[in-house]
Amino acid sequence: MKKILYATSEAVPFIKTGGLADVAGALPKCFDKRYFDVRVVLPKYECIAQKWKDQMKYITNFYMEMGAQSCYVGIFYMEFQGIKFYFIDNEYYFSGPTPYSSAPWDLEKFAFFSRAVLSILPVIGFRPDIIHCHDWQTGLVPVYLNDKFQGGEFFRGIKTIMTIHNLKFQGVWDVPTIKSITGLSDYYFVPDKLEAYKDANFLKGGLVFADAITTVSNTYAEEIKTPFYGEGLDGLMCARAHDLRGIVNGIDYDIFNPETDPDIPFNYNATTFRKEKVKNKVALQKELGLEQDPKCMMIGIVSRLTDQKGFDLIAYVMDELCQDNVQIVVLGTGEERYENMFRHFDWKYNNKVSANIYYSEPMSHKIYAACDAFLMPSLFEPCGLSQLMSLRYGTVPIVRETGGLKDTVEPYNEYECTGTGFSFRNYNAHEMLNVIRNAERIYYDRKREWNKIVDRGMARDFSWNNSAAQYEELYNWLIG
């Protein structure tokens, strides 16, 4: 039996701010249980919903040395859908209304978490063959493993994988502060280890010390070796190119299934969507106070509102777009300037634009089900899950050709009758608008063709099956 431990700062259904939670919640379930024992460890945040906290069982606690401090580490446990989850408890670090706040507090919090991930292993009696780390929050796990923990017999030979979900976030602060927070020696604070551009960098530490590196699509794996997408670490990505591979994300086909989804008013599948899907649109128009017109093309956006997602392009041509016969439904939270931009257009084009500036899982499902098209013009996109959810719900993605968007959306070819969505290449607002207008033309003038695009999209398999097999292969190769 191969033992794998996922170390992550979020996982569905317990805590989610973005796609990382979807991945860390769904992927562990997808391995063959005869050969793999995959468990997950995450922080026991105060903001985890009470119904989950009530189901966790307290196991034990101990004190852990961390720099000059001795820190409390509580361990809670719960099994969910056949997966063993461990929660690290420390009310000092994991209180507050959200999992993340700001540096350097977050760095201290996740340095503690990373060290605790290793410290609990002898206590819970689980010696993983591989610790699979996700994003900068767990970047110090491979570093600590290389440091003190390698001294003990228990830890010797444990391998690590660092998966990059988003290279933009690296966990960076000045060296003296990080040295005292982490308790790591001078040895680590040099440019070929944790140091990057004079600061200490958690993700870099993980990328240097991990045995293997993955990211969430092939195209992003290539892109991050270039200065534009490399976020200052392209040199390191090139240097470790042999240990870096892209494995595209999937989505949880049980949760995202238009045929059984309890959050949408009218269920449908790949055969019934022609009649049934539109009923979801009318229901949503009613709910959101948009003009009730089953024929009007509805374009959806469900997203963190950050510059990664291409909202500058949308802001630039929104007035022009709103002259067309379309409705635009937005669900998202994030940077104030984008929240206000969408509020403004909601006010200006009240019966055409609906800005929903909040977070709601059920509302996101309603939008995936109701819309005709889904807009995701990202500046960069490691993988992107929203376009996969859209494809699954028969909603045609309109995307920029970057990262996972390029790998998962095949552009429509009118002459060959192929493709599952619409895409454009350059980060240019009018290029985007032209592609949206091309989609409008197909939608209004060639509805049968449009429905065939939907057919092809719904027929694609973006469940975890293929990608989990690739992770299995990587685990087998690493363990040998």
Q: Which positions lie near ligand GLC, rule CB under 6 A?
A: 18-20, 23, 165-166, 216, 249, 381-385, 404
Min CB(94)–ligand GLC separation in Å:
21
Min CB(62)–ligand ADP separation in Å:
34
Take residue 71 and report the two structure tokens written for it.
């820190």
| Nearest residue to 217 (alpha-carbon basis) of 399, 382, 85 | 382
Residue 408 site contact among ligand GLC, ligand ADP, none (CB < 5 to 8 Å, cut-off depends on kind): none
Min CB(141)–ligand ADP separation in Å:
21
Min CB(163)–ligand GLC separation in Å:
8
Residue 141 site contact among ligand GLC, ligand ADP, none (CB < 5 to 8 Å, cut-off depends on kind): none
Min CB(220)–ligand GLC separation in Å:
8
Residue 302 site contact among ligand GLC, ligand ADP, none (CB < 5 to 8 Å, cut-off depends on kind): ligand ADP
**Beta bridge partner(s), residue 159:** 130
Residue 454 site contact among ligand GLC, ligand ADP, none (CB < 5 to 8 Å, cut-off depends on kind): none
Min CB(355)–ligand ADP separation in Å:
11
Specify the residue, 28 or 404, whose C-beta has the smaller distance to ligand GLC: 404
Residue nearest to ligand GLC (CB): 19
* Binding residues for ligand ADP (CB under 6 A): 18-19, 22, 302-304, 331-333, 359-361, 364, 383-386
Residue 99 site contact among ligand ADP, ligand GLC, none (CB < 5 to 8 Å, cut-off depends on kind): none
Contact 168, 378 (CB under 8 A): no
Min CB(381)–ligand GLC separation in Å:
5
Residue 386 site contact among ligand ADP, ligand GLC, none (CB < 5 to 8 Å, cut-off depends on kind): ligand ADP
Min CB(445)–ligand GLC separation in Å:
33
Specify the residue, 45 or 393, whose C-beta has the smaller distance to ligand ADP: 393
Residue 438 site contact among ligand GLC, ligand ADP, none (CB < 5 to 8 Å, cut-off depends on kind): none
Contact 5, 131 (CB under 8 A): yes
- DSSP β-ladder status, 159-164 and 130-134: parallel
Residue 407 site contact among ligand ADP, ligand GLC, none (CB < 5 to 8 Å, cut-off depends on kind): none
- DSSP β-ladder status, 297-305 and 326-334: parallel
Residue 216 site contact among ligand GLC, ligand ADP, none (CB < 5 to 8 Å, cut-off depends on kind): ligand GLC
The alpha carbon dihedral of 201, 92, 50, 100 has a sign of: negative
Specify the residue, 7 or 178, whose C-beta has the smaller distance to ligand GLC: 7
Name the residue with tokens 């003009």. Answer: 291
Min CB(374)–ligand ADP separation in Å:
10
Specify the residue, 21 or 208, whose C-beta has the smaller distance to ligand ADP: 21
Specify the residue, 184 or 388, whose C-beta has the smaller distance to ligand ADP: 388
Contact 137, 113 (CB under 8 A): yes
Specify the residue, 17 or 360, whose C-beta has the smaller distance to ligand GLC: 17
Specify the residue, 36 or 136, whose C-beta has the smaller distance to ligand GLC: 136
Specify the residue, 163 or 420, whose C-beta has the smaller distance to ligand GLC: 163
Specify the residue, 141 or 167, whose C-beta has the smaller distance to ligand GLC: 167
Distance CA 132, CA 24 (A): 10
